[in-house]
Amino acid sequence: LRPGEPVDLDNCAREPIHVPGLVQPRGVLLVVRESDGRLLQVSANVEQRLGATPDAVLGRPLSEVLGADAAAQVLRHAASATDLASRNPLTLRLDRWDGVGPDVDAVLHRPPLLAGGTGAEPVLVVELEAATGTRPLSFPSTYLAARQALSDFERAATLGELYDDVSRHVRDLTGFDRVMIYRFDAAYNGEVVAEARRGDLNSFLGLHYPASDIPPQARALYEKNWIRLISDVDYEPAPILPTALPTTGEPLDLTHSTLRSVSPIHLEYLRNMGVRASMSISLLRDGRLWGLIACHHYAGPHEPSYEVRTTAEFLGSTLSVRLVAQAEEERGTEVSRAERVLAHLAADSRDESAPLGVAITRSGWLRRLVRADGAVVLAEGRLTSVGTVPDEDASRALVAWVLAQEAELVSTDSLPDAAPDVAAVAPGVAGVLGIVLPEGQVVLWVRDEVLRHVDWGGDPQNKEIARTEDGSVRLSPRRSFERWREVVRGHSRPWTEDQTDFATALRGHLVESLYVRGRRDLRAAE
Ligand code: BLA
């Protein structure tokens, strides 16, 4: 995108959101040259907030906007700390601050300078915002809230409980109307997996959204900076003056800024959802974005203080750590469960009083082994099935398709993509996992479209969704849900690597049982 080019639905993944040249006006941004403490850039609202016109203070010492004491405090702090982020915020008492006062939080960081500009002079970014925010919490109560949250996380027995605890504690701490845990799948489509909300709001739990709602450059930024607050979606952005940082000739990189002005497309999205304030916290696994804690406020602007936000961010990173451990644990449980199921199936398959297909479909074990909706067995010349499966002709078509792949193991999570003609005769089947046994015998599992598992949880046309003048709903989560529906139509939940391994292990048992059964038949014939 060239500067000034309007952002729309097609080019939004190219919007350079880390260099908007603008900040949210809840605070003031100042850029100071470290060597001499002089101002290189200021946000235009420095005039309204601190009573100093940009023209009058640019090139002048920081003390001219902050007063001598506060300026000295900032520069001393910067000089003494290499890791500024861990020591934020620095609380200042200013003579003049137009806003909630009198204390102001100064949040300091050193911005990434030009890629090629290794020689660029170090600068310091100072962002000032009201220290109290909308929800005054003293240090002890913030600390106690965090401590209580951690002990609850410790007690959570499942991932689901952990998500619930985190959303509840983040809501208690920050006072947002709705706090959601939003989890990405491998393609970055998202699902709301937990939620704490004001009692009168509709639930978003279980809703899915397409990857395009949070474009790739935004996800990349959120892997570097773990929290962002849009305290009022109706804000008038304050430009950073001058546009280019004099030492680099480039606009200031706001990757690590707390006041960064956000994408206008996203603001429209939020307004259409009826959201007045939004905050989100990155959830990471091995440094990659795994999900977000997404917070909404509807009643009006919402501005939790920097300290409260940092505590919420800390709860998010605790969740990230717990998550990896918990996911490993749940995987372990699932593997030992599957091993028990396999043992039952192996025993059943040796029951020679019944044909193999009957012996292994009599119980629910076969379906449960890989968490399928149904299973079809073609063995010893007969077709048997269990659970939700298509009719006999369609089942035979699925068997034929599996055999045609000429592999011992066949899997797809989208039959319509993999074999449109077979999908046409087997409506509703989206996922297929098959194992091929000797002499064209087959066991296959089917899964429904994932859509069938989606629950709107209340009236989808809820009143929170605003409409544009012409009456259409644009960029709302409802519309996004529709787009997600198009994207995932014909897909099942994917078969995990563990599940294909379980299928392969079952294949080993069945090959053996078929061999034993074959020998018995031979003996009987002799
Ligand atoms: C950013 N989109 C975001 C963010 C969220 C969502 C959580 C992070 C910013 C924030 O904290 O508000 C999406 N929010 C959701 C979803 C729900 C929610 C899915 O509450 C569901 C309940 N967005 C679009 C389209 C485009 C787009 C079509 O829907 C582009 C054409 C862009 N979204 C977009 C951009 C950002 C964004 C550019 C980055 C905003 C920024 O940080 O500057």
pLDDT tens profile 455-477: 333 333 333 333 444 444 445 55
Higher pLDDT, 86 or 348: 348
Question: Tell me, what's the pLDDT at 219?
Answer: 96
Question: In angstroms, what is the span from residue 211 Cα to ligand 1's centroid?
Answer: 10
Q: Using CA positions, which residue lies closest to atom 22 of ligand 1?
A: 477
Which ligand 1 atom is at minimum distance from the Cα of 294? 7
Question: In angstroms, what is the span from residue 411 Cα to ligand 1's centroid?
Answer: 33
The confidence band for 144, taking pLDDT boundaries of 50, 70 and 90, is confident
pLDDT 10s digits, 24-59: 999 999 999 988 999 999 999 999 999 899 999 999
For residue 406, the one-letter residue type is E
Q: Domains plus CATH for the chain? A: 12-327 (3.30.450.40), 350-449+490-525 (3.30.450.270)
Question: Which contacts (CB < 8 Å, 24+ apart) does range 139-148 have?
Answer: 139/307, 142/173, 142/307, 142/308, 142/311, 145/169, 145/172, 145/173, 145/311, 146/173, 146/311, 146/314, 146/315
Question: Tell me, what's the pLDDT at 119?
Answer: 63
Residues 6+ apart with CB under 8 A from 13: 212, 215, 216, 217
pLDDT 10s digits, 194-225: 999 999 988 888 888 878 889 999 999 999 99
For residue 87, the Cα-to-chain-centroid distance in whole angstroms is: 27
194 half-sphere exposure, CB direction, 13 A CA radius? 19
DSSP secondary-structure letter at 180?
A: E
Q: Using CA positions, which residue lies closest to atom 17 of ligand 1?
A: 477
Token representation of residue 351:
């029951």
Q: Using CA positions, which residue lies closest to atom 5 of ligand 1?
A: 214
Q: What is the dihedral of CA 218, 242, 238, 108, to 10 degrees?
A: 70
Question: In angstroms, what is the span from residue 448 Cα to ligand 1's centroid?
Answer: 29
Question: Tell me, what's the pLDDT at 303?
Answer: 92
Question: In angstroms, what is the span from residue 85 Cα to ligand 1's centroid?
Answer: 25
Question: Which contacts (CB < 8 Å, 24+ apart) does range 106-111 have?
Answer: 106/70, 106/74, 107/258, 107/306, 108/74, 108/77, 108/78, 108/84, 109/84, 109/85, 109/256, 109/257, 110/84, 111/252, 111/253, 111/254, 111/255, 111/256, 111/257
What is the percent of the chain with per-residue pLDDT over 70, rounded to a whole number? 87
How distant, in Å, are the alpha carbons of 342, 365, 408, 444, 504 from that of 501? 11, 16, 12, 14, 5
Quote the CA–CA distance of 319 and 495 in Å, as a whole number: 26
Most confident range (mean pLDDT) of 265-279, 350-364, 439-453 is 350-364
List the Cα angle 394/398/400 in 5-degree steps.
Answer: 115
Strands 190-197 and 288-297 come out as unpaired
The confidence band for 121, taking pLDDT boundaries of 50, 70 and 90, is confident
Question: In angstroms, what is the span from residue 217 Cα to ligand 1's centroid?
Answer: 11
294 close to 280: Cβ distance less than 8 angstroms: yes
Q: Using CA positions, which residue lies closest to atom 37 of ligand 1?
A: 214
- Pocket of ligand 1, beta carbon within 6 A: 9, 12, 15, 17, 190, 204, 209, 212-215, 218, 228, 230, 262-263, 265-266, 269, 278-280, 292, 294, 475, 477, 480
251 close to 243: Cβ distance less than 8 angstroms: yes
Q: Using CA positions, which residue lies closest to atom 6 of ligand 1?
A: 214
Residues 6+ apart with CB under 8 A from 261: 20, 22, 23, 24, 235, 237, 238, 254
Q: Using CA positions, which residue lies closest to atom 35 of ligand 1?
A: 266
Q: Using CA positions, which residue lies closest to atom 21 of ligand 1?
A: 477
Average pLDDT over residues 306-325: 90
Measured N-to-C along each axis, helices 306-349 and 159-174 cross at an angle, to the nearest 10 degrees, of: 170
Question: Tell me, what's the pLDDT at 483?
Answer: 59
Q: Ligand 1 test: best mutation among 5, 176, 214, most atoms within 8 Å of CB?
A: 214
Question: Tell me, what's the pLDDT at 460?
Answer: 35
Consecutive H or E run containing 29: strand 27-33
Q: How many residues does the chain have?
A: 526
157 close to 292: Cβ distance less than 8 angstroms: no
Average pLDDT over residues 489-511: 93
Q: Using CA positions, which residue lies closest to atom 12 of ligand 1?
A: 278
Question: In angstroms, what is the span from residue 214 Cα to ligand 1's centroid?
Answer: 5
- Tokens 């940092």 correspond to 310
The confidence band for 390, taking pLDDT boundaries of 50, 70 and 90, is very high
For residue 339, the one-letter residue type is E
Radius of gyration of the chain, Cα coordinates, nearest whole angstrom: 29
- Tokens 């053996």 correspond to 512
Q: Using CA positions, which residue lies closest to atom 26 of ligand 1?
A: 213
